Structure 1
């Protein structure tokens, strides 16, 4: 019996584990004040990418059994600030069911008066409300809520032990990166759907076809495909996008952000410049 649901998850999980091992190495060995701060800065972008994989895991768990999944989620929690089942509640059974209705969307981009939030406003509000909204959704999913609360308590307890051992290193190696990664994740979601007040999946998401971006995020750029069939494994999203491409408006393609593009990040692009034709074939 294989441990992984999909063999393609083996290398990503190995890389996440190596990153976490480096976190622990810095935490337990750093004696200078500047090294944990340097590690915080160096880890912002990689942990932002790991956040995308944590998202994939909440849609399709990487292991076949509960125990390795829970252990992986503890590691993800320290790397991304999103603990076990938080994404599942807020995002999978929340946002994915409601994103076409801005009066219900857990990651809504509209204000109560129907106007569009600014980038900073959306990011701060959804960052602060991520866990309260996950809990609210969980009230309708008691089994998942129990896991969310239990694993959340365990995550806090483990973080408390780290602070007891070395509060300074715990602050810069774990707590601040957790908060920053959650914020970066929320900020990135602003560009997935903002301004798209529609009723069809094919018109409701922006897509990013940049190869480097999709390599590092597990094909998260194929966002229309992801919302069309959110239980599909990340490795199968390009194939589904190719099937859907003819129905996706040419206006729904964007550039990736830093470090893949340093000017015009997240700007809309002409799909003629984005290898759309090759993918559609």
Structure 2
């Protein structure tokens, strides 16, 4: 019996999540290799090329994990929370506050760029402004909310806000400890990388919802969808975004089927064929100039 068969047969996880669990351990470990081993210039270049090729999975893994934990074991899930949070710069508690119980509850204002207008058509300039403008709110507002509700108010629902505050403080302490140990790497590699990761999540948020009515009046028109096979393979089918909003706790592997069930009701203008990745930003800008976004 394979490891995957054993884990799924014993109810530890779904078969599709076995690889997600493995990556949740492997990728963070790979991320922190430079803090353990000193690289030559050539080795550093090879490392950056390798990690850049796989780092995008980290944010998507954490996204799915906070929506639907990968395992039935609370200790293992908590460890995955820590590992993915350390490597992405956004803790699981932050995601649960600003995304699961913020974005999916239609309460985005505190976590996005002030005055964000998602109903406007795609604009390359506005996309960049939105991402930069959302960096601080998406990182600081969940911490402030956790302090207000968890420390001052002891609110325990829909999540334990006291723990959410503690987890975010532990992350900051972890980064501070790394800064004390390896100040150069922390200041010039870790922190910029974390900011870049957060920036990319904001860009995907923008791509998922630009030109959309997020009011909920028409649930089929509150998100964009991409059928790009490569992007969906990397992101765990996040491109089927209307289906994801229709059932936020649904499993990522089921989204293509869920999308097929509602596809006829999704407005044609909300279905695209290109990748959402920020690496495609020049192509997105090119399409926008030709009114093809």
Among 176, 180, 201, the residue aligned to 1:185: 201
Cα distance in structure 2, aligned partners of 1:209 and 1:105: 30
Among 264, 279, 291, the residue aligned to 1:246: 264
Cα distance in structure 2, aligned partners of 1:248 and 1:75: 36
Cα distance in structure 1, aligned partners of 2:91 and 2:263: 34
Contact 2:134 2:202 in 1 (8 A): yes
Cα distance in structure 1, aligned partners of 2:120 and 2:270: 20
Among 148, 171, 190, the residue aligned to 2:164: 148
Unaligned regions of 5+ residues in structure 2, if any? Answer: 1-6, 289-293
- C-alpha change, 1:238 and 1:136, in structure 2 (3 Å) is farther
Unaligned regions of 5+ residues in structure 1, if any? Answer: 269-281
Question: Which shows bigger deviation, 240-249 or 55-64?
Answer: 55-64
Where does residue 36 of structure 2 map in the other structure? 28
Shift of 1:105: 7.2
Shift of 1:161: 2.4
Where does residue 80 of structure 1 map in the other structure? 88
Q: Deviations over 1:209-252 (max 9, x none)?
A: 11111111011000000001101011111111010001011111
Shift of 1:158: 2.1
Contact 1:48 1:80 in 2 (8 A): no
Contact 2:89 2:197 in 1 (8 A): yes
State yes or no: 1:97 paired with 2:105.
Answer: yes
Where does residue 291 of structure 2 map in the other structure? none
Q: Secondary structure at the match of 1:256?
A: coil
TM-score, normalized by length of structure 1? 0.81
Where does residue 64 of structure 2 map in the other structure? 56
Cα distance in structure 2, aligned partners of 1:217 and 1:250: 22
TM-score, normalized by length of structure 2? 0.78
Where does residue 256 of structure 1 map in the other structure? 275
Where does residue 225 of structure 1 map in the other structure? 243
Shift of 1:68: 1.5
- C-alpha change, 1:203 and 1:105, in structure 2 (3 Å) is farther
Question: Which shows bigger deviation, 219-228 or 117-126?
Answer: 117-126
- C-alpha change, 1:202 and 1:130, in structure 2 (3 Å) is same
State yes or no: 1:201 paired with 2:209.
Answer: no
Q: Deviations over 1:57-80 (max 9, x none)?
A: 111111223221221112111221
Q: Deviations over 1:78-130 (max 9, x none)?
A: 2211112111110111111116xx7x574478548x97881122111111100
Cα distance in structure 1, aligned partners of 2:14 and 2:209: 29
User: How many correspondences in the alignment?
Assistant: 264
Cα distance in structure 1, aligned partners of 2:50 and 2:114: 30
Shift of 1:133: 2.9
Q: CA RMSD in A?
A: 3.1
Contact 1:9 1:62 in 2 (8 A): yes
Where does residue 265 of structure 1 map in the other structure? 284
Cα distance in structure 2, aligned partners of 1:227 and 1:149: 27
